[in-house]
Amino acid sequence: MSTQRKDSRATLSQQVEKTKTRQKSYVMDLRVQSPASMGYLGVEGLDSAPAIVRLAKVKGLDVIAITDFYSGEFIDRMVTAAKSSPLTVIPGVSVRCRVKTCSEVVISCLFPESISSAGISEFLRELQVPEQARGNPEYVMTASIDHLLRALSARNGIAIPSRLDKTPHRMSIIPELVETYGFRAFDLTYADSSAYFKKRWPSHTFQLFTFSDANALAQIGSRIAKVKMPTPGFEGLRDLIGREHI
């Protein structure tokens, strides 16, 4: 073997090792609701945005996503409240769509940090979500999941199906999401549901989380994920939980 080839292999090995050592651990809760969601339990007289930031710090969170149902109204306030803190706020929104016979497919849509409340509203208009659906977890979109994923992809967003292991009916749609749509990240109700994925798709690598789905201050960070990413914020998340091309 030539000296040049040995040197190039050594350099590649060093680069891989360097990338591994650069990865940092981040504590995340990527399903947090705000007063923009129906049923949110706020504290009278308390400004929720800075309160969420303070509580996230107490809970040791590095990253949170605000994912109200059909509303991005609170995103700008949260970003402003977190500016002077190390907390990263990921803009997001939760939607509920129909896949085959199941109308209970909740998807958390996450966007780059540059997306504002107005950007979320534009996204919802493209999906033809009416104003009266804002904050309502019971509303089922008329737009298909294909339409949703195209609109999300156009904005460089990512999607995480949520709580599909809660009932057998919801669980029956997971194979469609894995095998047709390439989902490899799920927010689960029960941590031990991971055994289902390992048994059914032993050759796939999944990112399986259990986030809080907080709709009250006290619930934030009650269920978290600790992950290693080479890049913080949304860029790291996109590398971690992006869908596979099918």
pLDDT bucket at 180, cuts 50 / 70 / 90: very high
Distance, CA of 31 to CA of 80 (rounded, Å)? 19
What does the alpha-carbon distance between residue 244 and residue 246 come to, in Å, rounded to a whole number? 6
Query: What's the rounded Cα separation, in Å, for the pair 81 and 74?
Result: 11
- Which H or E run contains 19? helix 3-22
Quick check: is 70 in a domain?
yes
| Contact yes or no for 30/213 (Cβ under 8 A) | no
User: Is residue 7 in a domain?
Assistant: no
Task: Quote the tokens at residue 136.
Answer: 């309502």
Q: Which two tokens stand for residue 237?
A: 């998340």
| 39 domain-assigned | yes
Per-residue pLDDT at 2: 52
- The answer to whether position 103 is within a domain reads yes
Longest dimension (CA), the chain: 73
> What pairs with residue 27 in β-bridges?
226
| Six token digits for residue 71 | 């509303």
186, 31 Cβ separation under 8 angstroms: no
The closest alpha carbon to 115, from 62, 63, 78, belongs to 78
pLDDT tens for 125-156 read: 999 999 999 999 999 999 999 999 999 999 99
Cα(37)–Cα(164) distance, rounded to whole angstroms? Answer: 20
Task: Tell whether 6 is covered by a domain.
Answer: no
Confidence check: pLDDT of 211 > 60: yes
13 lies in some domain? no
Report which secondary-structure segment, H or E, holds 90: strand 88-99
pLDDT band at 19 (very low <50, low <70, confident <90, very high): very low
Handedness of CA 157, 169, 245, 194 (dihedral sign): positive
Q: For 18-31, what is the mean pLDDT?
A: 79
Q: Which domain holds residue 231?
A: 23-241
How many domains does the chain contain in total?
Answer: 1
Q: Which of 43-47, 94-98, 200-204 has the lowest mean pLDDT?
A: 43-47
Residue type, 212: S
The CATH number covering residue 203 comes to 3.20.20.140
Residue 136 lies in a domain: yes
Cα end-to-end distance, the chain, whole Å: 39
17 in any annotated domain? no
